[in-house]
Amino acid sequence: MERMRVMFLCTGNACRSQMAEGWARELAGDLISIKSAGIEAHGKNQLAISAMDEVGIDISQQESLRINGEMLEWTDLLVSLCDNAEEQCPVISPHTIKLHLPLADPAKIKGTEEEIQAEFREAREKVKERVEFVIAQLDTH
Protein backbone atom coordinates (compact mmCIF):
# COMPACT_ATOMS: atom_id res chain seq x y z
CA MET A 1 0.00 0.00 0.00
CA GLU A 2 1.30 3.45 -0.91
CA ARG A 3 1.96 5.75 2.02
CA MET A 4 -0.17 8.85 2.55
CA ARG A 5 1.71 11.97 1.43
CA VAL A 6 1.33 14.78 3.99
CA MET A 7 2.34 18.41 3.43
CA PHE A 8 2.58 20.81 6.39
CA LEU A 9 2.06 24.42 5.29
CA CYS A 10 2.58 27.74 7.06
CA THR A 11 3.46 31.28 6.02
CA GLY A 12 7.25 31.13 5.72
CA ASN A 13 8.23 27.47 6.22
CA ALA A 14 10.67 28.58 8.91
CA CYS A 15 9.06 27.55 12.24
CA ARG A 16 5.71 25.78 12.52
CA SER A 17 5.73 23.66 9.37
CA GLN A 18 9.44 22.88 9.85
CA MET A 19 8.72 21.65 13.38
CA ALA A 20 5.74 19.65 12.09
CA GLU A 21 7.90 17.97 9.46
CA GLY A 22 10.45 17.05 12.14
CA TRP A 23 7.82 15.72 14.54
CA ALA A 24 6.09 13.75 11.79
CA ARG A 25 9.33 12.09 10.75
CA GLU A 26 9.97 11.19 14.40
CA LEU A 27 6.45 10.04 15.31
CA ALA A 28 4.96 8.58 12.13
CA GLY A 29 7.74 6.21 11.14
CA ASP A 30 6.88 4.65 7.79
CA LEU A 31 3.17 5.45 8.07
CA ILE A 32 3.37 8.60 5.91
CA SER A 33 5.62 10.52 3.53
CA ILE A 34 6.23 14.04 4.78
CA LYS A 35 7.14 17.44 3.36
CA SER A 36 6.75 21.01 4.52
CA ALA A 37 6.48 24.30 2.66
CA GLY A 38 5.37 27.87 3.03
CA ILE A 39 3.38 30.42 1.10
CA GLU A 40 6.80 32.11 1.05
CA ALA A 41 10.25 30.81 1.99
CA HIS A 42 11.66 32.74 4.96
CA GLY A 43 14.72 30.56 5.53
CA LYS A 44 15.65 28.53 8.57
CA ASN A 45 14.84 29.83 12.05
CA GLN A 46 17.61 29.06 14.56
CA LEU A 47 15.21 29.24 17.52
CA ALA A 48 12.97 26.60 15.92
CA ILE A 49 16.02 24.43 15.22
CA SER A 50 17.19 24.84 18.85
CA ALA A 51 13.75 24.09 20.31
CA MET A 52 13.52 20.85 18.32
CA ASP A 53 17.11 19.94 19.15
CA GLU A 54 16.17 20.10 22.86
CA VAL A 55 13.88 17.09 22.29
CA GLY A 56 16.39 15.23 20.13
CA ILE A 57 14.97 16.08 16.71
CA ASP A 58 17.35 17.60 14.17
CA ILE A 59 15.58 19.83 11.64
CA SER A 60 18.71 21.76 10.68
CA GLN A 61 19.03 19.95 7.34
CA GLN A 62 15.46 20.67 6.25
CA GLU A 63 15.08 23.40 3.64
CA SER A 64 12.70 26.34 3.72
CA LEU A 65 10.64 25.94 0.56
CA ARG A 66 7.90 27.88 -1.17
CA ILE A 67 4.96 25.70 -2.14
CA ASN A 68 4.54 25.05 -5.84
CA GLY A 69 2.26 23.13 -8.18
CA GLU A 70 4.42 20.01 -8.17
CA MET A 71 4.28 19.84 -4.36
CA LEU A 72 0.52 20.36 -4.37
CA GLU A 73 0.09 17.57 -6.93
CA TRP A 74 2.22 15.27 -4.72
CA THR A 75 0.11 15.99 -1.60
CA ASP A 76 -2.70 13.71 -0.37
CA LEU A 77 -3.27 15.64 2.88
CA LEU A 78 -2.47 19.35 3.23
CA VAL A 79 -2.24 20.52 6.85
CA SER A 80 -2.24 24.32 7.17
CA LEU A 81 -0.77 25.54 10.46
CA CYS A 82 -1.78 29.21 10.26
CA ASP A 83 -4.64 31.34 9.04
CA ASN A 84 -2.45 33.07 6.46
CA ALA A 85 -1.52 29.75 4.86
CA GLU A 86 -5.18 28.70 4.90
CA GLU A 87 -6.25 31.93 3.18
CA GLN A 88 -3.34 32.15 0.73
CA CYS A 89 -3.07 28.47 -0.16
CA PRO A 90 -2.98 27.89 -3.90
CA VAL A 91 -5.69 25.80 -5.49
CA ILE A 92 -5.35 22.16 -4.56
CA SER A 93 -6.39 19.17 -6.61
CA PRO A 94 -9.73 17.49 -5.90
CA HIS A 95 -8.01 14.38 -4.49
CA THR A 96 -6.23 16.39 -1.77
CA ILE A 97 -7.71 16.48 1.72
CA LYS A 98 -7.24 19.77 3.57
CA LEU A 99 -6.98 20.13 7.34
CA HIS A 100 -6.62 23.48 9.12
CA LEU A 101 -4.92 23.39 12.55
CA PRO A 102 -3.85 27.01 13.19
CA LEU A 103 -1.11 28.01 15.60
CA ALA A 104 0.37 31.42 16.45
CA ASP A 105 3.74 32.20 14.88
CA PRO A 106 6.42 32.08 17.60
CA ALA A 107 8.73 34.20 15.43
CA LYS A 108 6.43 37.19 15.91
CA ILE A 109 6.75 37.23 19.70
CA LYS A 110 8.52 40.19 21.28
CA GLY A 111 10.20 40.00 24.66
CA THR A 112 13.35 38.91 26.40
CA GLU A 113 15.47 36.11 25.00
CA GLU A 114 14.06 33.78 27.68
CA GLU A 115 10.45 34.74 26.86
CA ILE A 116 11.02 34.19 23.15
CA GLN A 117 12.69 30.81 23.76
CA ALA A 118 9.78 29.81 26.02
CA GLU A 119 7.36 30.72 23.20
CA PHE A 120 9.25 28.50 20.77
CA ARG A 121 9.18 25.62 23.27
CA GLU A 122 5.43 26.07 23.72
CA ALA A 123 4.96 26.18 19.93
CA ARG A 124 7.03 23.00 19.62
CA GLU A 125 4.67 21.18 22.00
CA LYS A 126 1.54 22.54 20.27
CA VAL A 127 2.92 21.46 16.90
CA LYS A 128 3.59 18.00 18.34
CA GLU A 129 -0.05 17.77 19.49
CA ARG A 130 -1.24 18.65 15.99
CA VAL A 131 1.07 16.11 14.36
CA GLU A 132 -0.10 13.42 16.81
CA PHE A 133 -3.70 14.31 15.92
CA VAL A 134 -2.97 13.98 12.19
CA ILE A 135 -1.21 10.64 12.69
CA ALA A 136 -4.07 9.35 14.85
CA GLN A 137 -6.59 10.25 12.13
CA LEU A 138 -4.57 8.44 9.50
CA ASP A 139 -3.93 5.46 11.74
CA THR A 140 -7.67 4.86 12.18
CA HIS A 141 -8.37 4.68 8.45
> Catalytic amino acids?
10, 82, 89
The 10 Å CB-count burial string (b at 16+, else e) for 52-71 is: beeeebebeebebbebeeeb
| 8 A C-beta contact, residue 76 and residue 95 | yes
Provide the phi-psi class of 111: left if phi over 0, else alpha when psi is between -120 and 50, else beta.
Answer: left
Phi, psi at 104, each rounded to 5°: -60, 150
CA distance 87 to 68: 16
